[in-house]
Structure 1
Amino acid sequence: MIYHTHGCETYSNSPDGNYHSRDKKNSVMEVGSALTSALDSKGWGVVHTTKYHDYPSYNNSYASSLKTIQSILPKYNSVDIAIDLHRDARDLTNPATKEKDHLKYTTMINGERVSKFFFVVGGKNTNRKQLRALAEDITAFAEKKYPGLVSPIVEKDYARFNQFAVKNHMLVEIGNNATRCRRI
């Protein structure tokens, strides 16, 4: 299952220019669709929900996405993995910082500049060790296959991020607001 707690998150090439939009183009929703297609082509059955959870209320986004998870799981009892797909955010008020962050959060893979990604683990989850181990395994695999593609895992001791709802849950930050969607 792929979903987006913050589905309005967009990338630097969003025509709205504010890094948040309900236009799925140049957003985490578009990246989620591309990931769904890639996984489907490998034989994985993926449920991708494009419901906005951060509109109209950003503050209720995790409560809203939890309801979505809880509505999907009974319909698809084979769901064993959940991916909450986000993009990271940086203060880009200084144009020099924007370019620096663009370069810092991208890397070269096979001659093409692509966005890096990283995992976030909520430290208030009872399954925190399992979540961390899953993130470490995937990080190690990706780093071996594509050195430089993955940034270090971030653990937020104060949060849960709905990661308790599915055994194998990943909160993944792909790129940031300084990167362009086509780099994902």
Structure 2
Amino acid sequence: MAIRRWQFRKAPYRLVRRLLYFSLVCLTLLGLFFGLQTVVRQKAVPVAGLEAMKPQTDLIPQWREALFAGIPGLAATVENNKHSVEITEQFSWQQALRRSILFLTRIDVSDIRSLFRAELPLLNILKDSGDSKGRIPRSSIVHFKPQRPSPVGKPLVAIYHTHTSESFIPTSGVTHAKAGEQGDIVTVGETLADRLATHGIQAIQSKKAHDYPSFMRAYTPSENTLKKMLADNPSIQMVFDIHRDAEKRENSVAQIDGVYVARIGIIVARGQEDLVQPHWQENHAFAKIINDKMNKHFPGLSRGIQVQEWRYNQHLHPRALLLEVGSHETSLEEAQRSMAMLGDVLADILAENKNYGVR
């Protein structure tokens, strides 16, 4: 009788525990379902909007790469690119659910691998070996050999802006211009073209708005713009998609010759298995040349080279790069100073390759 009485008393606890586990499983499935819906809806996220979207994408960061197609510099910088202006996150039931499940089961629904680790303890001691595809091969010097002659007077440099509305808070008071309008970043591109002109180098610039009506899908219209620019101007030898970053000011400026300038980050896209980028090694070699020249003539100007897993339209040309000039916390004037320096660097590179019609 004592044994039966003990078993009877224990039964309610077993029932409660089973109900608790069942509830957790249901809530987990619901959380993953709604989280995946968020991923499907957001196919591309502009880099300037990452912080604002963080409450949504934090649910499953291991899968958020699906959001990053066409996001310059994001994979390596998303955790470091924090705004200096504090952003207060609103309450999210998804976040509360995630933390509750993590506390009770040690399974983090934001990392699908934790589910397997819970059942396969061996995974906890295994280290990621890394993706061999991400290793940078030794890039040879780029030889500027045009497919056809490029006579003097033909444009050698193409400039465009995927996120045309990007602006600088110290100058315009906003991070982005109004829908469909040109932001400060277009003036940055103009400054580079003007500086190249002083060296006798012709540059063409597209000022077309690509981030309106859809800021999330700006790379599709900008790809079409670049295709037309290249088709109309086969003499083009360099292509630059100019952006501004979303970094803190202290990481985005340098003092050169006694003045502050916006630092320049170079983004190289290497593609993926289902997103072929045949020119990425050539683009990377070209980036190294520019980076070395900047370090030689203007130490501190370059923020270095980042290699990312997408394309950013760089599959269209063997010397196409994405440049991040300063951040939302730097000024237009600082960005213009850096473009003057970059123009001198590019002129130096072209002058070393006289087959391109540069005097």
TM over 0.5: yes
1:139 corresponds to 2:291: yes
- 1:130 aligns with 282
- Flag structure 2 segments of 5+ consecutive residues without an equivalent: 1-157, 272-276, 336-359
1:34 corresponds to 2:185: no
Q: 1:11 offset after TM fit, Å? A: 0.9
CA separation in 1, counterparts of 2:296 and 2:212? 38
Please list the CA deviations of residues 117-150 of structure 1 after superposition, one character each: whole Å capped at 9, or x if unmatched. 0100112022111111111110011001111110
Counterpart of 1:70 (choices 216, 227, 232) is: 227
Whichever residue aligns with residue 20 of structure 1, its letter is H
- Provide the alpha-carbon RMSD of the alignment: 1.4
SS in 1 for 2:242: strand
1:55 corresponds to 2:206: no
Please list the CA deviations of residues 126-180 of structure 1 after superposition, one character each: whole Å capped at 9, or x if unmatched. 21111111111100110011111101211112x1000011221011110001111
1:170 corresponds to 2:318: no
CA separation in 1, counterparts of 2:231 and 2:268? 25
CA separation in 2, counterparts of 1:178 and 1:51? 24
Counterpart of 1:183 (choices 309, 334, 343) is: 334
- 2:302 aligns with 150
Please list the CA deviations of residues 12-36 of structure 1 after superposition, one character each: whole Å capped at 9, or x if unmatched. 2243x330114546x1101001111
1:43 corresponds to 2:200: yes
SS in 2 for 1:86: strand
CA separation in 2, counterparts of 1:11 and 1:18? 6
Q: 1:76 offset after TM fit, Å? A: 1.3
CA separation in 2, counterparts of 1:174 and 1:48? 16
- 1:102 aligns with 249
The answer on whether the counterparts of 2:280 and 2:318 sit within 8 Å (CA) in structure 1 is no
Q: 1:78 offset after TM fit, Å? A: 0.8
CA separation in 2, counterparts of 1:79 and 1:131? 14
- 1:20 aligns with 176
Instruction: Name the structure with the higher strand share.
Output: 1
1:4 corresponds to 2:161: yes
Please list the CA deviations of residues 87-143 of structure 1 after superposition, one character each: whole Å capped at 9, or x if unmatched. 0113xxxxxxxxxx2122111111101110010011202211111111111001100
CA separation in 1, counterparts of 2:209 and 2:195? 22
Whichever residue aligns with residue 65 of structure 1, its letter is S
CA separation in 1, counterparts of 2:196 and 2:164? 20
CA separation in 2, counterparts of 1:183 and 1:49? 22
Q: 1:72 offset after TM fit, Å? A: 1.6
CA separation in 2, counterparts of 1:178 and 1:70? 32
Q: 1:73 offset after TM fit, Å? A: 1.7
- Identity between Structure 1 and Structure 2 (%): 28
1:81 corresponds to 2:228: no
Q: 1:75 offset after TM fit, Å? A: 1.6
State the aligned residue count: 171
CA separation in 1, counterparts of 2:168 and 2:298? 23
| Larger-Rg structure | 2
- Flag structure 1 segments of 5+ consecutive residues without an equivalent: 91-100
Q: 1:59 offset after TM fit, Å? A: 2.0
CA separation in 1, counterparts of 2:293 and 2:300? 12
Q: 1:9 offset after TM fit, Å? A: 0.7
Instruction: Name the structure with the higher helix share.
Output: 2
Runs of 4+ displaced beyond 4 Å: none
